[in-house]
Each structure stands twice: as structure tokens, then as C-alpha cells.
Amino acid sequence: MKKVGKQTISFDAPPIILETASIVGPKESEGPMAKYFDQCLTDEFWGEKTWEKAESKIIKETVNTVISKSGIPSKDIDFCFAGDLLNQCISSSFGLRALNIPFFGVFGACSTFVESMCLGSVFIESGAAKYVLCATSSHFCSAEKQFRFPLELGNQRPPTSQWTVTGSGASILGHVGEGPYITHITPGKIVDMGIKDANNMGAAMAPAALDTIIQHFEDTGRKPSYYDAIISGDLGHIGKDILNEMMQSKGYNIKSLYNDCGVLMFDKNKQDTHSGGSGCACIGTIFSGYFFKELKEKRIRRLLLVATGALMNSTSTQQGESIPGIAHAISIEI
Amino acid sequence: MKKVGKQTISFDAPPIILETASIVGPKESEGPMAKYFDQCLTDEFWGEKTWEKAESKIIKETVNTVISKSGIPSKDIDFCFAGDLLNQCISSSFGLRALNIPFFGVFGACSTFVESMCLGSVFIESGAAKYVLCATSSHFCSAEKQFRFPLELGNQRPPTSQWTVTGSGASILGHVGEGPYITHITPGKIVDMGIKDANNMGAAMAPAALDTIIQHFEDTGRKPSYYDAIISGDLGHIGKDILNEMMQSKGYNIKSLYNDCGVLMFDKNKQDTHSGGSGCACIGTIFSGYFFKELKEKRIRRLLLVATGALMNSTSTQQGESIPGIAHAISIEI
């Protein structure tokens, strides 16, 4: 591999995305993407007593599913990269504690899925690993409780707010086999434009997406038209519009190629999720469920996948801090 | 690089630890290690209004110090790997948001420092990066508030409890230059032996340290006597004794070589920290302050550095969960 430009790594023997899996919650199961997921749950608890335990079960079963679908024995998977939104990433730690695979905990907020694939792909191409597992999760109820208000309070949600996706996405990367390739990664910098509204994550994260996408184009010499699709993680309707405008102001028109997983996840008119989906599982499940199949079936041949994260917590918001954003991009080709 | 045995990566062109830096709080400044740190603070706030903001300032200034000491322009540092104990790792995100270096957020609880060096060293040896920055922090007051009780409550601490180190440690790894080498990394698996006492972290983490250290010996064919010192992160007095006993029961006598940063940080008789120090900054500051100098001056030539982490939060404890542990090891030689 080699570094190209300021922030991008180009792979000589690109790591292969061998398999993916996704499990989603009940609201996602009523959305337009439902048919692409491996499993759609009918309630938020899945037989567990708490939302946190349910989230752990979701990531655990998603990981079991991707291992089973891949046909790769779990003893042959060298490392696992995983993280989530819960404090101290307990969904991943508890969900994956029985996995018996060396574990790297990752925190990139909602950028975690692509962050883990960035790290995993460097491990694969360098020869440090033959197979790695990348996984993430989020849960509407555990996230609302932790970041905003008790659900029982029935708080009104402003129009800029997004709906944390309940679910988990997981992928297995390998050095040989069939599947789309990760040809480049462009890990992002922390970008803080001073947005302080914890109910407007799209606006807080859009500048980070802008920074990473433009850097990717500059580093690789590619233009937007190189890609069949540019897909961001969870900017939602408002963040998507902001990113389109900001890209335009920098001289890049990506409108016809660009969409956001937060926009794709729910039906805006029927599902009352305001600005759309969010959470680690938003891009995690939509990539694993939908885009991976589009790539495998060659309906999309070149995808720029850009996961965005808001690096804050409720204490930082209460202390009047702004919301730093980050975005990590990977180029996936067939 | 190549994988050796089940969990270890061996480097052909070992990454170099070029420089380290450490800043500690007032209690650490009164302990036996004080003279080795770059800066000793006289109060817990350092001019900030909250403990969280103080912790962010500590990691920020530690990173500025290590960059300045190394003489490497920050624009030449390819990637930063950092994380901490605060929910959603906000100490790192806020402290390092102005750094303008592509950022990988890492969460391994108190194993974060060595986890970041594991990831960084793979990036260096693979050619993905020429220089990387690894950093972590913790703060007694922000950790007590978040994980246990408000400090104002003046709660009694049981004898098994440990004292979270206030401070930050940072290192810069590079592909060329002078300094000790990272020859092997042995990333750990999650190990959960069912300990549920959040005031006895040493007991919860010791089995993970055992698992990783023995795996390191099996993978590399080395014996304890290969090393001049085996140093764990923050098992404290109780965890240290447990690990010594468990190693003995597995046929390894490491007593004469082995110590723990939680034991080294405070004076057991004078400082009233019960089972000793803990927190991401425990191994972060003691490695950066003390052991790095011992290696540079060749008083120690072969060091096995084993950072331990407890992957829990206050919600998991309240929900009756046990405490999964993890330990990552790196072999550092001169």
C-alpha cells in the first residue's frame, strides 16, 4: 500500500469484502429498505430485559450471521474491529465477549463502521491478518435514553432531529476470495464548525463529510463522475441538502450521484422520522444489506462510502460545547 | 510483517518509538514517579471550568509536548490514534479537534494506550504511514463522577478500589529514526470470568492479562526470562498478586520481572490509594515518563508492555452484568 496525497491510502492488493450481514429493528422493518436485511425484528427488546442487552444481542447475532454466511470458520478470523454508541462501547464488548477473536475497540460515533473497515483493510493488505471482522450497532431506545431524554417522557422532537437506527451491520474482509474490493481509504480529520444543537447532527457532521470527500478527490485525482454512487452515513435530509450545497460551492456537483443512508432508511412521508435515520447501524445496515448486494450484482461498480460521526456526549452539550464531526471514506470497486 | 502463532504479529522492520510525553495531576505529582513526567499540575482544573475540559486540555498539551519534543512537524504526522475513558471518548475528540491530523478513535478502556500503539505500528510497518501519534488520557474526578459517585458525596472507597490517574501519555511512532523498537504486538481477546464488583477492577482484568501474556509466550516461543521487565497497565496491588499467582499456576514464574503501573504510580503507605492507580493514563504516563527513558538509556533492553482494560460502564453494572476484561501486549526492544 502507499499513501497518496495528504490523507488517502491506496492498496496495491485491495482487500476484499467477502460477506456482510444486517439485522434491524421494527421501525426499520417497515421502511423501504426492509427487504434487503438478513433479519427484521418485531420488537425492540428481542427477548431481553433491557435495551442495552437487546443491542448486544443484535450485534452478537449479526456477527454470527456474517460468519455463518461467509463459510469462514471463526477460528480463522484474525481480528475483530467493533464499536458502538453506548458509553464505553458496551454493546460491542458484551455482544462479542464470547467470540474468542482478538478485539480492537473502535469509537468513531456513527462513522465507526467505515472506521473499522479502514483499520481492517490496512491489516489485511499488510499481511497482519488474512480475515478480519468489522461490526457496529445502534439502538433507538438505548441512544435516546443515553443522549437525549427518557423515552417515557414523550418529548417532542424538533424537525432537524434524526431517528437512531436499531440494528447492526457486520462485514468480513479477506485477502483472497470473491467480492468487491476496497481500493482506497481516506480517514478523516476532526472538523468542528461550531454547531451546538444536539438535535441537528446533520448540520454538525456535513462539514466533516465535505472535508473528507474533497480530500479524497484531491488525493486520488478522481472526479465525482468516477463513481456510480457517493453515499454518506447519516446526514439525514437536512445534512444531505447542506452537503450538496457546500460541495456545489466548492465546485463539485455531486447531486445526481449522491445519497445518504439516513434518507434511504425511512419513508419520509409515512414514518415520521423528521430528518431521517442516524446511528452507527444506519450506514452499517444499509451498506451491509443493500449496497453490498448492488456491488456484488454489478449494478454499482464504483462506490464512495462516507461514514459520518458526531463526537459528542450529553455532558459536552450541557457544558456548552460545540459538536465536532468526523467522516471516514472508503472507495469500493468491483 | 507476519502473524506468528494465534494472536501475535511480528514486524520485519520494527516501528520505532521516537518520542513520548506525559503530563500528570497533583496526586501523581506527589508520588514516587513524579520526577519522570514532563509536567506536574498543581490542581485538578488547570484553569478550566470543568474536569472534562481539564482532561481535554491535558491530552491536548501532552500531544503538543510530544510533537514539540520529537521535532517532527505535525503536518508530517499521518494519523492519530487516541481514546479515553469518558463517554464517547470526548477528552480525545475535544482535546485533539484542532490538531488537523486524520483521526482514528480507539476504545479499549485502560488498554487504550497500547491498543493505539498496536494499530499505529501496523500502519507504520505496512507503509500506510511514516509517522503516527498515539495518545490517551484519564482524570480522577471525571472518572469518579462518571463511573461511580459524585466526589462531593465523599463516598468511602473499599480496599480493592483503585485511584484513576489524572494525566495523559502520548507517543510518536515512526519508520526511521532513533529509539526503542516495537518488535511484536499481541492484541488480546475479551475475557470475562464473571467478576461483578466495579470496585475490584484488578480482579476483573487479571484473567485477560494472563490470557494475553501466555498467548504471547506461546506465539513467540519466548520465555519470561527473555524480558528484562514485564509491566502491566493498571491491575493494582490486588490484581498484580492475582496475576502472579495465576501465572505460577500455569507454570510461569514472572514475579522477579513483573510489576504494574498502578503499583508504581503511588506510594501505598503514604498516599491512601488503596489498591493503587488505574485509568488509561496510568500505563500511558508511566510508560511515556519512566519506561521510555529506561529503554532509551538501555537500563531495560527488552520490555513486554501489557495494558489491561475493563470493558464496562455504570449501566452494565446496574443491570447486573459482569465485567469483561481485555489486555493488549507489545514487545519493545532496544
ipTM, two decimals: 0.98
Give the chain B residue nearest A122 (alpha carbons). Answer: B123
CA distance B316 to B305: 29
CATH class of the domain defined by A2-174: alpha beta
Residues of B in contact with A2 (CB under 8 A): 127
Give the alpha-carbon dihedral of B275, B281, B284, B288, to 10 degrees: -100
Task: Return the bridge partners of A321, or none.
Answer: none
Which among B85, B321, B331 has a CA at the least distance from the CA of B212?
A: B331
With vertex at residue A15, the alpha carbon angle to CA A12 and CA A21, rounded to the nearest 5 degrees, is: 160
Q: What is the pLDDT of residue A233?
A: 97
Which among B214, B181, B190 has a CA at the least distance from the CA of B5?
A: B214
Which among B33, B281, B307 has a CA at the least distance from the CA of B163?
A: B281
Is B118 within 8 Å of chain A by CB? yes
Give yes or no for a contact between B211 and B328, defined as CB atoms under 8 angstroms apart.
Answer: no
Q: Indicate yes or no: CB of A312 within 8 angstroms of CB of B123.
A: no
Residues of A in contact with B94 (CB under 8 A): 311, 316, 321, 324
**Of A83, A88, A99, Cβ closest to residue B312:** A88
Which among A150, A145, A290, A263 has a CA at the least distance from the CA of A202?
A: A263
Q: Span A290-300, mean pLDDT?
A: 98
Whether domain A181-333 has CATH 3.40.50.620: the reply is no
Give the chain B residue nearest A90 (alpha carbons). Answer: B312
**Average pLDDT by stretches of 10, chain B with 334 residues:** 97 98 98 98 98 98 98 98 97 97 98 98 98 98 94 92 98 96 98 94 97 98 98 98 98 98 97 97 98 98 98 95 98 97
Interface probe for A, chosen from B85, B99, B104 (most Cβ of A below 10 Å), is B104
Q: Span A185-208, mean pLDDT?
A: 96
Q: What is the pLDDT of residue A200?
A: 94
- The CA-atom distances, in angstroms, between B94 and each of A48, A329, B65, B77, B89 are 35, 22, 17, 19, 9
Is A155 within 8 Å of chain B by CB? no
Residues of A in contact with B1 (CB under 8 A): 126-128
Q: What is the pLDDT of residue A190?
A: 98
Q: Same fold for the domain at B2-174 and the one at B181-333?
A: yes
479515553: which residue's cell?
Answer: B84
Predicted TM-score (pTM) of this structure: 0.98
Q: What is the pLDDT of residue B318?
A: 94
Is A76 within 8 Å of chain B by CB? no
Q: Indicate yes or no: CB of A9 within 8 angstroms of CB of B97.
A: no
Least confident window among A14-18, A288-292, B146-150, B263-267: B146-150
pLDDT for A218-264, tens place per residue? 999 999 999 999 999 999 999 999 999 999 999 999 999 999 999 99
Task: Return the bridge partners of A133, or none.
Answer: A80, A172
**pLDDT band of A91, cuts 50, 70, 90:** very high
3-class SS letters over A4-23: ECCCEEECCCCCEEEEEEEE
Q: Are strands A302-310 and A229-232 parallel, antiparallel or unpaired?
A: parallel
Is B324 within 8 Å of chain A by CB? yes
Domain-wise residue ranges, chain A: 2-174, 181-333
Q: What is the pLDDT of residue A134?
A: 98
pLDDT for A111-140, tens place per residue? 999 999 999 999 999 999 999 999 999 999
